[in-house]
Structure 1
């Protein structure tokens, strides 16, 4: 039997945005916003999500990735007891919890950085940060230079070659597991992290929890460098994310099919056996509704998200078609305040949540969508079909990015006596081992195939 994360369907929450926290600490004391998530746990369960990635969570100066204290929940969200309650409630509802691990850098209010500001060359933490030089400076005029993430000097790069830094961060992770009972960590900026540190992290977390999951944020590169038995279990599949919107906008299903063939084809796919984290939007990129030229593509995009190889993730609000764009360097539009009851009462795209619920149920019912090998069955610029095949069973997905209906004839990947469109229950005609289907404009279909 596979691990929980192999079969997971993720919901992704950026809590400072969802819960309407102020951008900086303008409030006195602790505000218990996390308690509002109780209703969202019910919503996640009803939509078929089996895991939640929530973060950043820990005390920070502004957006959450400028950590001030790794062992305290951000006071704008609540306290440690609030988060313990959230994890417990999720677990009671069959939902695993994954948090952000921001280990590439800290904020300037972090204790080690402040000690360097105070004690300079005498600070015991002077080697905790990269390239600290007391002969240089930054625009903050501290009287010393340090390396920062993308030259954003509010984010000081930690020196993960230093034993003290590593020991501290590994102790933080043990604390999170003991204190909150989390099930995994999403590593922020994993493509900047030192590989030896990630290997140590894999060993430490595996000792604490055998089925602990590590997923890395990786934009470019050979994902297999990170996803292997020694380092991480998964990384973000940005390559497929790009194809999922541009393949529709350009009416070019060859882009999506080529990406999947390159990554997961049974004969030569470079990541076959890996389970990459698949998404169509997140807290750093425009909402999929805004990336697509036509909203009619939404059904096909989400159908592909749930049926292609990978671990699917829906970003909060995505199930209703919430809009949001990045404005220059400002991500606020991607991270809106949402009130559950308001979204359910007036969803921007009313039919989308129902589709996502059906796709979630189908994925849980059909092991082929988790473990099945991938086989391309039909491909033109505007039509695409593929099968997921497991132990002689098959699930076949077909999508049409044309503004006109299309006739599909799809060769069944297994001998078939019956094929039904799983989302509607409608029977498909079979002729000479082919599924015959009239697809509407912008339509998608998922067929379960019974062997004859």
Structure 2
């Protein structure tokens, strides 16, 4: 698999994006997926090369309570609509990664209903962790994080593993290019090894990333056979360090990130369908470029959550409907939002373009050069050592002069590079208050390295 080495993902939560009903209704098929097609051109304009598509399979409410993995949610369309989306994306050079919910299912899942009807000892009952009260009361089941509507699967059951592999293969055969494994941190990593080996035997180019919020990232990747996991550590450190004027937190996280990248390439992000949007998370809007610069100048597979590139705001709340603000409906036509007039969109285009011109950043080695409470300077170098960019981020209220490790030229940002000697660039950059800069090591410096 080589396509992921150049991938920059645009992440969409379809049920919200397309304005679907909050709960499934039995009123036929709504062919909404076609409404994403005009937005594929927007993704291309952004500079993305892949779309990470949130849950699209039949469910009762938010998509993560799946009732049929082989059926497209009727609120979005049918199988032909999803295949048409794959084709439309591929025609534009975009790969598609699907969201697979395989830790748990909704109570409307057919096997769960069969288990309750057939009783303990039945083949269907073996799919779940069920408890049958002696007094004949309601059957109890293990659930996902206290949500009784989400029934945990028994991952020790070979039939469950066969089902998951079959689902993954089915949609890969119809045009999908990869899978995000929802709640992968809740599934025993060893479950995935034989499942993914089977899937890769038929689809060697498949990309698989697990949602892992905390835990042993490297251990999970190695034990499971996944390509990657979500880098929540770095996500948290980016906005937290900027808000707290504590660059040491981000420096520490970059050190851990570098260690992860020696073992695998994490999926990096500033936002997704489960967290407060970055524009709302940052206390100072002047620091959005800083956050985005980190995303696009360190190793990883960067992922941009739809709307973040347009400066959307939204706060996640811990209540019923608390995700609505971060999962809004979008207009039918991107032109209605006039992306070209958005300074946030242009900033994304600039830094995504920088990333694509420096594709080696996918596996770069990042080293912190200088850190204070208000200043972080780091270099990201290619594994071959022939290329490097330097990123300097300031949260100071005063101008800051940053000494660079070698003559450099400015690639992006509001820093000013003083004139250097006639044969090379400058060895310093001056950042304005709350300024930032991404710099390229000059050709002479690369030859001397």
1:320 touches 1:349 (CA, 8 Å); kept in 2?
Answer: no
Q: How far 1:40 sits from its partner (Å)?
A: 0.8
How does 1:352-431 map onto structure 2 within 5 Å?
352-390=344-382, 391-412=385-406, 416=407, 419-422=409-412, 429-430=419-420
Q: In structure 1, what is the equivalent of residue 105 of structure 2? A: 106
1:18 touches 1:338 (CA, 8 Å); kept in 2?
Answer: yes
Alpha-carbon distance change, 349 to 318 in structure 1, aligned in 2, over 3 angstroms: farther
2:295 touches 2:302 (CA, 8 Å); kept in 1?
Answer: yes
Q: In structure 2, what is the equivalent of residue 263 of structure 1? A: 257
CA distance in 1, matches of 2:133, 2:42: 55
1:411 touches 1:434 (CA, 8 Å); kept in 2?
Answer: no
Q: How many equivalent residue pairs?
A: 438
Q: What SS does the corresponding residue of 1:121 show, helix, strand or coil?
A: coil
CA distance in 2, matches of 1:222, 1:272: 14
Q: In structure 2, what is the equivalent of residue 120 of structure 1? A: 119
Match of 1:313 among 303, 319, 333: 303
1:10 touches 1:311 (CA, 8 Å); kept in 2?
Answer: yes
Q: In structure 1, what is the equivalent of residue 160 of structure 2? A: 165
1:302 aligns with 2:302: no
CA distance in 2, matches of 1:56, 1:408: 45
Q: How far 1:185 sits from its partner (Å)?
A: 0.6
2:391 touches 2:439 (CA, 8 Å); kept in 1?
Answer: yes
Q: In structure 1, what is the equivalent of residue 447 of structure 2? A: none
2:217 touches 2:260 (CA, 8 Å); kept in 1?
Answer: no
Alpha-carbon distance change, 254 to 98 in structure 1, aligned in 2, over 3 angstroms: same
Q: How far 1:346 sits from its partner (Å)?
A: 5.7
1:331 aligns with 2:331: no
How does 1:68-107 map onto structure 2 within 5 Å?
68-107=67-106
Q: Deviations over 1:383-431 (max 9, x none)?
A: 112112224221111111223332222222xxx4x52334689865447
Q: In structure 1, what is the equivalent of residue 20 of structure 2? A: 21
Alpha-carbon distance change, 226 to 428 in structure 1, aligned in 2, over 3 angstroms: farther
CA distance in 2, matches of 1:426, 1:402: 16
Unaligned runs of 5+ in 2: 445-449
Q: How far 1:273 sits from its partner (Å)?
A: 3.7
Unaligned runs of 5+ in 1: none
Q: In structure 2, what is the equivalent of residue 250 of structure 1? A: 244
Q: In structure 2, what is the equivalent of residue 133 of structure 1? A: 131
1:145 aligns with 2:137: no
2:53 touches 2:96 (CA, 8 Å); kept in 1?
Answer: yes
2:415 touches 2:432 (CA, 8 Å); kept in 1?
Answer: no
Q: How far 1:340 sits from its partner (Å)?
A: 5.7
Q: What SS does the corresponding residue of 1:385 show, helix, strand or coil?
A: strand
CA distance in 1, matches of 2:226, 2:389: 29
CA distance in 2, matches of 1:225, 1:410: 36
Q: What SS does the corresponding residue of 1:442 show, helix, strand or coil?
A: coil
Q: In structure 2, what is the equivalent of residue 177 of structure 1? A: 172
1:278 touches 1:312 (CA, 8 Å); kept in 2?
Answer: yes
Q: What SS does the corresponding residue of 1:420 show, helix, strand or coil?
A: strand
Q: How far 1:435 sits from its partner (Å)?
A: 2.9
Bigger mean CA offset, 337-346 vs 319-328 = 337-346
Give me the TM-score of the superposition, normalised by structure 2: 0.92
